[in-house]
Copies of this chain bind each other. A is one copy, B any other.
Amino acid sequence: MSLEHAVLGFLNYEPMTGYELKKMIDISISHFWPAVQSQIYKTLFRMEADGWLSVETISQETRPPRKVYTITDKGRVEFFGWLETPQPQGETRIVWLIQLFFAGQMEDEKILTLLRTLLDGYQQRLRAFNEIPEENRETMKEDDPRDQFFWMLTADFGVAQTIAYVEWLSKVIHAIEKHDYTLPTLGSHSK
């Protein structure tokens, strides 16, 4: 499982609780690998049982005890082995492409409404991406600049992908608006 290795990666920077991990994931890798709280806790439990992590439970008066997880040597070996192992191409599951596949059965106006809503959503997403660096630049100030480069790269990927979606949706919307049902010629993409 990949969440496990993401957790190892984070804990290799510094020990953390599940709660803190959740926050880290949300502001970093969640746009290509989201994780909900319950899954993180379950994963940490399993990883500790597997000897990849050790736990230190620190009692608090008013709150539940903090369970601080630390990566073990075994975990570190696992992590670095994984880190240089080629991983499969990711999966893209896009429900609205199923809709589009069957859109021949819909009126143009209804299709256009759907597509415009999608375009709008992705444009918003693009704006959200551009606000990420402002928010995080402060947080990362003191970290290794080479680390920072790779962190930013993944955000840059998100931007590139979203731009591709926006451009593609615009193209399709214009084609349908002009009732131009010329079959897209798959090979003829410029560049």
Give A residues with C-beta under 8 Å from B.
Answer: 2, 5-6, 9, 12, 28-29, 32-34, 80, 82-84, 86-106, 110, 113-114, 117-118, 121-122, 125, 129-130, 132-133, 144-157, 159-161, 163-165, 167-168, 172, 181-184, 186-187, 189, 191
Contact = CB atoms under 8 A, between A and B. Distances in A.
A94 B33 contact: yes
Contacts of A113: 84
A33 B150 contact: no
B6 A98 contact: yes
Nearest to A101: B154
28 contacts: A2-B98, A5-B98, A12-B105, A29-B98, A33-B98, A82-B99, A83-B103, A83-B105, A84-B113, A84-B114, A88-B95, A89-B94, A89-B118, A89-B122, A89-B125, A100-B157, A145-B181, A148-B183, A149-B181, A149-B182, A152-B184, A155-B184, A155-B186, A156-B186, A160-B164, A160-B167, A161-B164, A161-B168
Contacts of A88: 95
Nearest to A103: B150
A contact face: mostly helix, strand, loop, or mixed: helix
Contacts of A146: 104, 181
A191 B95 CA distance: 26
A90 B90 contact: no
A31 to B, nearest CB: 8
Nearest to A125: B89
A103 to B, nearest CB: 5
Given A104-B147, A155-B184, A164-B164, 16 more contacts: A12-B105, A33-B95, A33-B97, A34-B91, A84-B114, A86-B118, A90-B92, A92-B92, A101-B150, A105-B147, A130-B186, A152-B183, A152-B184, A156-B186, A159-B189, A163-B189
